[in-house]
Amino acid sequence: MLGKGRGSSYEELDEESEGDSRFGVNKRALYEPSGMVDRVRRVIVSPKRACCIAIIVFLCILSIALIAAFSRPFVCCACKENVDSEPDSLVGQQQGNDSQSSLSSNGTSSVVTPPTATNGEPFPWTSVRLPDFVVPLSYSISLHPNLTTFVNKGTVNVTFTLKEPQKFIVLHVKELELSNFHLETGNTVVGVRKTLIYVKYEQLYIEFDNILGENVPYSLSIDFKGNLSEKLEGFYLSSYRTSAGETRYLATTHFEPTYARLAFPCFDEPSLKATFRVSIIREGRHISLFNMPIAQTKKLSDNLYVDYYNDTVMMSTYLVAFIVSDHLNVTAVTANNVTVSVYSPAEQLHQAAFALEVATSVLDFYDSFFGIPYPLPKQDLVAIPDFGAGAMENWGLTTYRETAILTDSNETSVGKIQQVALTITHELAHQWFGDLVTMSWWNDLWLNEGFASFVENLGTDHVRPEWNMMDQFVLSKTQPALQLDSLASSHPISVKVDNPSDIESIFDTISYSKGAAIIYMLESFLGKTTLQRGLKTYLNTYKYKNAKTEDLWRVLSLESHNMNVSLDVEAIMDTWTQQMGFPLVTIERKGNVVTAKQQRFLVGSSAEEDGVSSEFYSKYGYKWHIPLTYTTDKSSKPKLVWLNLGDAEFKVSSDVKWIKFNTNQTGFYRVMYSERDWRNLIEALKTDHTVFTAVDRASLLDDAFTLARNNLLDSTIPLEMAGYLTNETAYVPWITALECFMEMEMTLKERKSLRNLIEYFQRLLLPIVSEVGWKDQGTHLQRLLRPSILFIASHYGDEEVIDEALKRFREWKTNNVSIPPSLRAVVYTVGIKYGTYEDWKHCWDYFNATQIPSEQQTLLNALGASRDPWVLSQYLEYSLQRDKIRPQNTFMVLRTVSHNPIGRDLTWRFVRSNWKQLLEQFGGGSFAMSNIISDSTEGFSTEFDYHELKAFFDAHDVGSGKRAVKSTLEIIRSKIQWIEKNEQTVEKWLEENSDKKIKRKEIKRV
């Protein structure tokens, strides 16, 4: 399937003094002598009487102990002998740490209320995980989704065996009507004694009349019925509108991570793989699609057909997919004779050519790279109008948002075309990493997403080598992951999760981008050849099976020995996957001796007061095996020093002037230099910045600004470093710099020093604005850089850029003069920001009329730039009206309006007012709720903001957004602390380094 510092806590500390005093009095009564002689009583007895009393007391204690030892309190983890007891007894078994705990926090036994089924009876199984004694073998599923009544009816027949004799099984099911339960083995029918449903765990308990035998195949048949809802999960309803205004419907699926149970009863855990056979009844005007090709089609009536599909290979339930629609397709064949098809609505089919080219090419590349041919006969890629995730790797039937797969070279920007290529190569990488070999449980989600996020760059680099994807890697993966993982509310890459909402919450930057970044680091010290050979061995060893992180490390360790590298990969990489965060490496130089010390880099020293920093214990004490690389002014060839759970000391030439550590930011850590070394690096940048690679220049900016935001570095150092940018023309350093500028601007919003800061940034931008110009030409990276530079220049009030953008907007609006696709975001945004309501309405009407998804996305973001509060309020209201804004785009509207200074408070007020609806619609969805929380609060930076947000979120359910809430509060606190400690210093430096001789017009429109 995509501020910092120290100080006091900002939690409310007011407690009732009366309560405090009562507690104090009680403690004094217990522990302090009263001084009152008449309250001291002595009991004087004879020795014989004392002995009798002692015996009686001993017998009483012994009796109590025996009663406690042999009594059986009602707990949620029953022993195995309870399994075959009466159905009202609890039969949940412990499965590692996955069952409900029967211990309280202090280790004593606690009585837990049993789960209750929908009929009011106790639900016997008590673990959120399914029993481990069931082995599903195959599913046969028949479906009849009615696109008129929006109801799906079907039957599932699942064949399974048991590892041990049992009288019951447990499956998953959610929001389905079930009937006609039937179990048989051979020609023998086994009676179904009882069925119960526990809604919280989405489980179906089935008890039989007889005990089922071990290793005997049983076939369970269940009829089911469910609505084709619009929730973007399970088997759901989507629609699109033709250019003639006709609404057409389709039924499609999204099952990851725990939504297959919404479509049919199943064993919905990734390790419970099986084969799947599907038949789908459809109308003649529709087609159906499944993971495998159609075996045959039969006509049922004048307008009804049934498609029968070939059996799948062994696969997990979350990878099953089926679609009924009127899409058309374009097709090609790979070198290995795999049929590749891209499906879309008829009017958009001309936008499928690029996706087809990328998919066909990259499948051949992956065949070679992974050393295993793509195992299915076909690969379908389908554009889905309503889709919560960006895309989904269903085996043989990958699904995408329309914006993630459809392009038009005359209408789509180079940035969006690149993103389409990355999305496709990501999902097709999953066909090996995730589909062929699947993680055993969701705690190792990163095995799927981290590897796909890394390999997508290799795949795209194969398709378009001139795009320099690995240079861009630090922008899309490393830097965002470092930012999130510096928070106390982060989590380890491998993290324990059980229930669906916890599983949803780890579909985040850590699993995706940090996972990719540590693989990039692994490749840097292991070597490309060793890594590739190891991946081939891993995939061949575990194909059609499940694996854990340690399985991969074992294979790579063995491969490193075979290649004479001899690294204990598991020992090294466990320090990166089993503990959250990353190290800060502090460099000290004395003569020719360099000392490198490591400590955890953590934003905000007061995080402990929120109770988030102690959530994850580290057995490594937050120390890492660090591959520390460096270059010097005497040698551009990288050298490697290991910091093995501690510090390191080494020597360099005594005449070395500067050392740059973490070469090309391949390591997942930050570097802190002495002030002298920072000054030497800045001097080198200003003298000849090309002595560093573009990525190294970006990493210096990234580290300097981040360390300053965390009060570890004088904030004037990064500002001084940024001065070299007047000579910079490369894409990667400039995008890093722009991110740093925006972060600093957001922190200083509404502060006195903001004006001087913007003037300084504008001065740095003048040369590059002139360099990029308005002609959409040059290399790929130049064409990517141009719109970013022009956009930020207009944001900071560059009059010439604004005037040119307004001129192009008026020519487009009045005379339909085409705007180069890569420049449209700038032109539309400026036109709406400085235009009238009629200009906004023109763009809104065009948004609704165009059949180009990428153009719709560009307009969707630009429409939030209006400076009219009423227009912004109306736009926010549209975001929750399905006929105006698709639900998948709601958070995009919230983000673009909240980034508008006029819309910031409007957005937060809207979110608060509509919280219940937002939670119902997005509360369980991966990414969505987290995005809504973070995007609607990103501009907050005051103590008032902190208290208001914390009070609101403390009082409301946040669904899968719990981590986002913690992160948001941490970031706001860190901004507050930075302002307190640095604002005056920054303001003084800006005044001292101001240059009133700005060559362009004075800023007037900020």
The DSSP letter of residue 405 is T
Q: Backbone phi, then psi, for 628, in 5-degree steps?
A: -85, 115
Q: Backbone phi, then psi, for 601, in 5-degree steps?
A: -95, 115
Helix count (H) and strand count (E) of the chain? Answer: 30, 29
Tokens of 853: 């998804």
CB atoms inside a 10 Å sphere around CB 581: 25
Q: How far apart are CA 540 and CA 370, in angstroms?
A: 9
Length of the chain, please? 1006
Comparing CA positions, the residue from 114, 112, 73, 108 lying closest to residue 90 is 114
Q: Are 977 and 711 in contact (CB under 8 A)?
A: yes
CB proximity list for 285: less than 8 A, separation 6 or greater: 326
Q: How far apart are CA 139 and CA 333, in angstroms?
A: 30
CB proximity list for 858: less than 8 A, separation 6 or greater: 413, 416, 824, 825, 828
CB proximity list for 711: less than 8 A, separation 6 or greater: 4, 5, 6, 977, 978, 981, 982
Q: Are 28 and 628 in contact (CB under 8 A)?
A: no
Strands, sheet with 583-590, edge to edge from the N-terminal-most edge strand: 648-651, 593-600, 583-590, 670-672
Orientation angle between helical segments 694-709 and 962-992, nearest 10 degrees: 100
Comparing CA positions, the residue from 470, 451, 464 lying closest to residue 407 is 464
DSSP characters over 501-539 = HHHHHTSSHIIIIIHHHHHHHHHHHH-HHHHHHHHHHHH
Q: Backbone phi, then psi, for 654, in 5-degree steps?
A: -65, -20
Q: How far apart are CA 857 and CA 855, in angstroms?
A: 5
Q: Are 336 and 367 in contact (CB under 8 A)?
A: yes
Q: Are 494 and 578 in contact (CB under 8 A)?
A: yes
- Catalytic site residue 427? yes
Q: Which of 427, 449, 720, 855 is catalytic?
A: 427
Q: Are 788 and 738 in contact (CB under 8 A)?
A: yes
Tokens of 574: 């466990």
Q: How far apart are CA 791 and CA 826, in angstroms?
A: 5
Q: How far apart are CA 66 and CA 84, in angstroms?
A: 27
CB proximity list for 345: less than 8 A, separation 6 or greater: 240, 242, 248, 326, 327, 328, 383, 385
Strands (E), 334-377: 339-344
In 3-state terms, what secondary structure has residue 108? coil
Q: Are 399 and 343 in contact (CB under 8 A)?
A: no
Q: Backbone phi, then psi, for 276, in 5-degree steps?
A: -130, 130
Q: Which residue has the tokens 């080598």?
A: 465
- What burial class does residue 367 get, using C-beta atoms within 10 Å of its C-beta: 0-12 exposed, 13-18 middle, 19+ buried? middle
Q: Positive or negative, the Cα torsion across 856, 861, 862, 865? A: positive
Q: Are 567 and 617 in contact (CB under 8 A)?
A: no
SS (H, E, C) 472-486: HHHHHHHHHHHHHHC
Comparing CA positions, the residue from 658, 737, 740, 717 lying closest to residue 691 is 658
What residues are labeled active site?
Answer: 427
